[in-house]
Chain A
Amino acid sequence: AQTVTQSQPEMSVQEAETVTLSCTYDTSESDYYLFWYKQPPSRQMILVIRQEAYKQQNATENRFSVNFQKAAKSFSLKISDSQLGDAAMYFCAYRSKGSGGSNYKLTFGKGTLLTVNP
C-alpha cells in the first residue's frame, strides 16, 4: 500500500518570502499522480498543483512550484512571494495511475499547517 509522509506539522513564513513544504511517499508503482491540496479555515479542499510521475519537468502554477525527485520519492511544494491568503493546511496526496485496481483513491499525508506572518 502507498503511504504519504509530511514531516513538518507546522511551518511559518514571512509575507513576501519563500517557503518549501516537504512530502515523501512510498510506492512500488512506476507511474502515478501527485497532488498538493490547500485547506483554508473554510475547510474547502482546493487543488494547488499536480504532477504526473512520468513527466520529468516540475509542475508550476504561478507562485507555486514543485520539486519532484522520483528516485528519492520526494515531492516538495515551494511557495514564492508568500501572501497572507496562503495561510492554510497543505496536504500532499498520491494517486495510482494503473488501469486496474483502485486508481480513483487519493492517499493523503497528515498535512502541514502554514502560517504567514505580516
Chain B
Amino acid sequence: NAGVMQNPRHLVRRRGQEARLRCSPVKGHSHVYWYRQLPEEGLKFMVYLQKENIIDESGMPKERFSAEFPKEGPSILRIQQVVRGDSAAYFCASSPGQLSLNYGYTFGSGTRLTVV
C-alpha cells in the first residue's frame, strides 16, 4: 500500500540546467498538488492538477516552471534554466477527490533540489 512516491530524493543541478521532479500519487488518487518549501519556511502551494488538466497554477512562477499530470505515468514538475533561488524541497501530495480534502491529503517525502 505505497504512499506518494517522489523521486529523486535529492537532485543537484548546475545553474542553467533543467530539473525534472517526479511524483507518483497514491494508487487510485487522481488529484495532485505541488508545494515548495524554501529554507526555514513553511510549505507554499504551487500547482493543483487532475489527470491531464491544470486546475490552479497560481502559486507557480510564470517563467521557467511547468507541471503536468498525464493520463498515464507520474506527475512531473519541470524547472528550466535553474537558478540558485530554486534550491528548495519540493513536495507532492495527492487525494482521490474533493471529498477527501476534508481530512487533508497524503504527502510524499519531497525532492530536495540544490542548485550549484
Contacts and interface: CB of A to CB of B under 8 A. Distances in A.
A110 B40 contact: yes
B42 A45 contact: no
B2 to A, nearest CB: 13
Nearest to B98: A104
Given A42-B109, A43-B109, A43-B112, A35 B104 contact: yes
B89 interface: yes
Contact of B89 (A33, A43, A50, A106): A43
A107 B110 CA distance: 17
B1 interface: no
A105 B43 CA distance: 11
Nearest to B89: A43
A91 interface: yes
Interface string A21-53: 000000000000101010000111101001000
Among A43, A93, A109, A110, the most chain B Cβ lie within 10 Å of the Cβ of A43
Nearest to B56: A102
A58 to B, nearest CB: 17
B91 interface: yes
Nearest to A109: B42
Nearest to A108: B42
B44 A108 contact: yes
Given A35-B104, A45-B91, A91-B43, A104 B33 contact: yes
Nearest to B48: A104
Given A95-B104, A106-B43, 18 more contacts: A33-B102, A33-B104, A37-B107, A44-B107, A45-B91, A45-B110, A102-B56, A104-B48, A104-B56, A104-B95, A104-B101, A105-B45, A105-B59, A106-B45, A108-B42, A108-B44, A110-B41, A111-B42
Interface of A: 4, 33, 35, 37, 42-45, 47, 50, 91, 93, 95, 102-111
Smallest CB-CB A-B distances: 10 pairs: A108-B42, A45-B107, A105-B45, A43-B110, A44-B109, A108-B43, A110-B42, A47-B104, A43-B109, A109-B42
Interface of B: 31, 33, 35, 40-45, 48, 56, 58-59, 89, 91, 93, 95, 98, 101-104, 107-110, 112
